[in-house]
Structure 1
Amino acid sequence: MSAPTFTLDDLKRVLLEGSGVSEGVDLTSNILDVEFDTLGYDSLALLETASRIEREYGIEFDEALLSEATTPRAFLDALGAPEIALPVN
């Protein structure tokens, strides 16, 4: 059985479930390179998101890399799992 694929849409869902969405932010748009601060997510929200991902997908990652992730693309890169599928721009 193959490992689950984690996509940008999965990240959006986990962010929304764990921290909600700020007024005026459209998570359905292309947010791959938008800063988390601009999207209304602080470091605590990202830690909660990471914890949820680890529990749900069994993906472990380096928390030091996560702390440097300022965009969804960088966050997905920080997961470092080969099964992550990023959308092609």
Structure 2
Amino acid sequence: MEDFQGIMFAAVGGDGANFVSDTDQEFEDLGYDSLALLEAGGRIEREYGISLDDSVLTGAKTPRSFVDAVNTAIAAGTAA
């Protein structure tokens, strides 16, 4: 989760002030939109050498669901 926080902070250019430790709080409530998730997804793809479907990224409503989707892709070895 800490890696994800760093990626989200970098993706939106913020300091993470709106990011809370409650991983089940919705991104919308945290002030993140779908573009921020797509940017974070792109960074994750480059860093981990995987390919993430945009619908998976935009379908994730919480940090926990986003991380779960990424972990599933990594475990499946979805190569970029």
Q: Same fold (TM over 0.5)?
A: yes
Q: Output the CA distance in 2 between the equivalents of 1:31 and 1:45.
A: 18
Whichever residue aligns with residue 53 of structure 1, its letter is I
| Structure 1 residue ranges without an equivalent (≥5) | 1-7, 84-89
Structure 1 runs of 4+ off > 4 angstroms?
none
Aligned residue pairs total 74
> What percentage of residue pairs aligned between the two structures are identical?
43
| Higher RCO by CA contacts (8 Å cutoff, separation 6 or greater) | 1
| Structure 2 residue ranges without an equivalent (≥5) | none
Distance 1:64 1:16, change over 3 A: same
1:30 aligns with 2:9: no
Q: TM-score, normalised by structure 2?
A: 0.76
RMSD, aligned α-carbons: 2.2
Task: Please report how far the alpha carbon of residue 68 of structure 1 lies from its aligned counterpart in structure 2 after TM superposition.
Answer: 1.1
Q: Which has the higher helix share?
A: 2
Query: Match of 1:86?
Result: none
* Higher CA-based Rg: 1
Query: CA offsets per residue over residues 28-77 of structure 1, 9 Å max, x none?
Result: x4231110011110000000000011111213223222221000111112
